[in-house]
Chain A
């Protein structure tokens, strides 16, 4: 019996039925920015590199990070990781340890950035080889410009080498990152201090000059006794701590920021027997430093005391012997970013043979070109100044002094210079590659374009957790506090390869299509097209929304 006379058999596809005509509502495949990435000043595409890291593909993960951040080995150690504070997983059993995975990727991944084939091969001078200068040089090199970096010190790295101590950022790690940059054929000129006139004259030989000289002038207290022997200042002391000649019994560190913490911890290693106290006007628990660093300082026996401000350094025979403090409290205005200190009842005198004042640092305006208004420089978001051909990056423009902020600023300035040389409007172009509501811009999107919606954030409420079983984070171990007193060895251990992959596997990959194909398999109308990127065929999408509900990563949405 002829089968097809008996029963209906279709040898055409369901394409005959244009179910898309049933509804004006349609699903759209639209990759978004993860909240961690929005929070990252460097704009690292975290869900992307997590995918590779989870599969143990560290070379590809490194390549992904290097699209946006030239210094993953540095950031993997010293970054205050705002990404982790915004990780969607932090709503559950704990944020993905993004910084630790980044460190592992830098450790295990191999690969070099590629010099770009720019249409405009400009000659650019970068002054300063700290994170902002290196970042600017890196991105300009990738855009095909000839870059010369001027560094006043004997070696490259700026604050990374001369400010951040070895136990947090080993010099070998820094050197590895700098070596990677050399693939971009950047000329590095060291031991060459520049000043006001030489900086401006650079403009004769270069199409643009980027100043990334950082903030090296310590803020002073302006109180009596600052001239006494035994009074030091944070960053200068950190860059050459051996100048401390006394053998103090009691050391007082004034300040509650990250530099103060480092100063205290370096003192601990240099003077294991001394009693070390950190004193700041803020209450304990409200110090501006990264809490992790404060915790580690406490583990190392450093006393932390808040609510006091120094009134006077007391001396004897020109040497410091004590400090007079006044009880106080700090009132912050988080909206304006300002604070005010008011005195309370109570004074005391603290014995000290050494005090290191670490209350912040400012740029050395006195050696920089005039017209860069001290303390408040008017620049564009890409660091362009009123002086033609002169751009700024890093601490010269940033409000927050963090390595990752310097990298971010260096990237924006590099793009600004590039666009100016092309004759394009940086304001317009940069706004197109801006990531979410932050200041970060995506270099990858600028270079290659993207189908990702950079202005949309994948929200926690849209992430379906049923695919993600509970899984606590892996936190790496630390050097025993007792041992730390006598050693500059790195305190924090890294993750092993398998641990790093496991931790990366905890990432929801919010906003990223991982090709899980739930939408593809659950679509009743076969309307999901598995291209790169995936898309939804409007002829067949009848707007049922199954794919939107099923997508665990807030990629598919209904419009």
Chain B
């Protein structure tokens, strides 16, 4: 049976079902309802774990790292400036290979201050060594939290489960809440060994020599690359257990598509409608949703875009001085292809600006009529 709930609540349900033992977080719009829901459950005795109230996101992450190192399952959530403040500790988390899951609700970074969705806050953390899932809707958010714990605890990397501020975080949708017993079976208690043996004192986060440093980074890189298979396997197993799976990418009408729109997050839902309407108008449009950003599914992207003539990447984010971040990553991934498609970048929806069906159709029409690439095209109104 489904229940109506917001994306924030869906994430909170995912946390509860995952039997998280410790939550250390600091409130920030638009993530706060996750924090509030978990606090409410804690006070009602429904959470099972403890909430640790801290004075900043930096401390929230530090607390999560320390707790996770002792072998307990931990969760935190944040947005925008909070994620930015955490930046230093995000490196500590991945460097210590702790399986923390963080719910991230995209929100524009200051300045100027704004509250709407903008992926730059999480994409700016792409080099911190975290797995990143960009979720399209509320159900996917709930399911991905459970998957993320399973993945993180298998590969020893922390994960971000990311939704769009307000569009996903505050819109209500019918969501299926998986039964606890099934989740328990899918996600057994944290298999981490107890890392602290008091008879053999140790110090973590220590200084090492440059060669050791080099080797640790190399090891992390290859482990992150190998985690791709784990992520896929966990998603497939989730599908067999719960009847829903998402893939690391999802293609729509790619078989016969001449041009393909690339989206992530909540814009994907709108893009699905736009693509259907365009196909009704006779255009052979396809859609590729990128759900997994780290590790980046480069090979998978090349395979799915093989033979396509034109690709339009819609980015709700911006790297000033270069362009949309998904577009950069995609271009880098496509570079080894013998025959590369034309890749045009479109910037849309920054700061939470609405990206309606008509705007996406405008993007598609521009792409179809285009025979050469240019710099990012800023699309504010249809």
Contact = CB atoms under 8 A, between A and B. Distances in A.
Interface of A: 1, 3, 5-11, 13-14, 17
A14 B201 CA distance: 12
A3 to B, nearest CB: 6
Contacts of B97: 6-7
A348 B208 CA distance: 94
A14 B219 CA distance: 25
A165 to B, nearest CB: 64
A11 B96 contact: no
Contacts of B207: 10, 17
Interface residues of B, number: 19
B206 A10 contact: yes
A77 to B, nearest CB: 54
A9 B156 contact: no
Q: Which of A6, A7, A9, A17 has the most CB of B within 10 A?
A: A7
B216 interface: yes
Nearest to B207: A17
Contacts of B372: none
B203 A6 contact: no
B220 to A, nearest CB: 8
Contacts of A10: 202-204, 206-207
* Chain B interface SS verdict (over half): loop
B212 A8 contact: yes
B206 A8 contact: yes
B195 interface: yes
A13 B200 CA distance: 12
A260 B205 CA distance: 76
A51 B59 CA distance: 39
A17 B207 CA distance: 10
Contact of A7 (B200, B201, B216): B216
Given A1-B156, A17-B207, A8 B216 contact: yes
Interface string B112-144: 000000000000000000000000000000000
Interface in B180-198: 193, 195
Contacts of B195: 3
B95 interface: yes
A394 B202 CA distance: 65
B95 A9 contact: no
B216 A9 contact: no
A9 B206 contact: yes
Nearest to A13: B203
A236 to B, nearest CB: 76
Interface of B: 95-97, 156, 193, 195, 200-208, 212, 216, 219, 223
A78 to B, nearest CB: 56
Nearest to B216: A8
Contacts of A7: 95-97, 204, 216
Contacts of A1: 156
A6 B97 CA distance: 7
A529 to B, nearest CB: 19
A9 B204 contact: yes
Report the 6 A-B pairs with minimum CB-CB distance, sorted nearest first: A10-B206, A10-B203, A6-B97, A9-B202, A11-B202, A8-B208
Nearest to A14: B203
A123 B193 CA distance: 77
A493 to B, nearest CB: 50
B219 A9 contact: no
Contacts of B216: 7-8
Nearest to B208: A8
B200 A11 contact: yes
B151 to A, nearest CB: 14
Contacts of B212: 8
Contacts of B208: 8
Contacts of A6: 97, 156, 219, 223
7 contacts: A1-B156, A6-B156, A6-B219, A7-B204, A9-B206, A10-B207, A11-B200
Given A3-B193, A9-B202, A10-B204, 7 more contacts: A5-B219, A7-B97, A8-B205, A8-B206, A8-B208, A10-B202, A14-B203
Nearest to A17: B207
Contacts of A8: 204-206, 208, 212, 216
Contacts of A11: 200-203
B115 to A, nearest CB: 37
A7 B212 CA distance: 10
A6 B158 CA distance: 14
A13 B203 CA distance: 8
Nearest to B191: A1
Q: Which of B200, B203, B223 has the most CB of A within 10 A?
A: B203
A5 B212 CA distance: 11
A9 B203 contact: yes
Q: Which of B193, B204, B206 has the most CB of A within 10 A?
A: B206
A10 to B, nearest CB: 4
A524 to B, nearest CB: 14
Nearest to B203: A10
A11 B197 CA distance: 11
A1 B219 CA distance: 13
A10 B204 CA distance: 6
Nearest to B155: A1
A394 B132 CA distance: 87
Contacts of A17: 207
Nearest to B212: A8
A328 B95 CA distance: 88
A1 B154 CA distance: 9
A1 B191 CA distance: 10
A8 B202 CA distance: 10
Contacts of A14: 203
A17 to B, nearest CB: 7
Contacts of B95: 7
B323 to A, nearest CB: 35
A413 to B, nearest CB: 58
Nearest to A9: B202
Contacts of B204: 7-10
A553 B216 CA distance: 46
A518 B309 CA distance: 69
Contacts of A5: 219
A1 B98 CA distance: 13
A1 B85 CA distance: 31
Nearest to B195: A3
A7 B69 CA distance: 11
A415 B216 CA distance: 69
Contacts of B201: 11
A10 B207 CA distance: 8
Nearest to B204: A9
Nearest to B220: A6
A8 B210 CA distance: 12
A17 B203 CA distance: 14
B341 to A, nearest CB: 39
Q: Which of A6, A11, A14 has the most CB of B within 10 A?
A: A6
A10 B205 CA distance: 8
Contacts of A3: 193, 195
Nearest to A12: B203
Nearest to A2: B193
A14 B205 CA distance: 12
A8 B203 CA distance: 9
Nearest to B95: A7
B86 to A, nearest CB: 19
A535 to B, nearest CB: 24
B155 to A, nearest CB: 9
A17 B209 CA distance: 12
A3 B216 CA distance: 12
